[in-house]
């Protein structure tokens, strides 16, 4: 039995009608991360962000947080949440930096068709898992 959009909608409650979830390339990952999170990891490859780094830097919102800090912490949390719930991967310790663009504009993200993105990711993952060399 193959999962369908109806299954995604019924099981996950994700929208299946609206604006597409798309990716675009970055010319400078360092700048992109800093523009969205205010800081950037100083260790490792910038194509992925460690969950431990996100937790260390965005675990608790300061009591006197500005609106910009609230948005930044929300983006960091959503980045983590997308990686562990929607685009689940075997590498649970990191999140691809490209996912940060999905929370770059939170208002746009709420209009996006996450159900189709999840189903496409599932099909892609299954194809990779069952492709023999």
pLDDT at 62: 93
Do 98 and 122 share a structural domain? no
DSSP single-letter state for residue 23: -
> DSSP string covering 34-87, please?
HHHHSS--SSS-TTEEEHHHHHHHHSS--TT--HHHHHHHHHHHHHHHIIIIIS
Classify burial at 118, counting beta carbons within 10 Å of its beta carbon; exposed 0-12, middle 13-18, buried 19 or more. buried
pLDDT at 54: 93
Do 122 and 64 share a structural domain? no
Count structural domains, the chain: 2
**How far apart, in whole angstroms, are the C-alpha atoms of residue 46 and residue 28?**
10
Residues lower than pLDDT 50 in the chain? none
Q: Which residue has the tokens 């023999």?
A: 132
Do 65 and 40 share a structural domain? yes
Do 97 and 34 share a structural domain? yes
Domain range for 57:
27-111
pLDDT at 11: 86
What tokens were used for 88?
Answer: 């689940």
Do 107 and 97 share a structural domain? yes
Do 92 and 123 share a structural domain? no
pLDDT at 7: 87
Do 104 and 45 share a structural domain? yes
Do 100 and 48 share a structural domain? yes
């Amino acid at each position: 039995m193959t999962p369908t959009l109806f299954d995604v909608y019924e099981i996950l409650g994700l929208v299946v009608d609206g604006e597409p979830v798309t990716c675009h390339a970055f010319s400078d990952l360092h700048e992109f991360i800093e523009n969205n999170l205010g800081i950037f990891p100083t260790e490792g490859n910038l194509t992925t962000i460690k969950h431990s780094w996100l937790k260390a830097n965005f675990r608790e919102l300061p009591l006197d947080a500005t609106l910009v800090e609230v948005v930044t912490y929300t983006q960091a949390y959503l980045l983590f949440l997308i990686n562990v719930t929607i685009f689940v991967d075997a590498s649970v310790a990191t999140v691809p930096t490209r996912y940060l663009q999905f929370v770059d504009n939170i208002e746009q993200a709420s209009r996006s068709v996450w159900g189709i993105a999840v189903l496409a990711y599932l099909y892609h993952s299954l194809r990779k898992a069952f492709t023999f060399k």
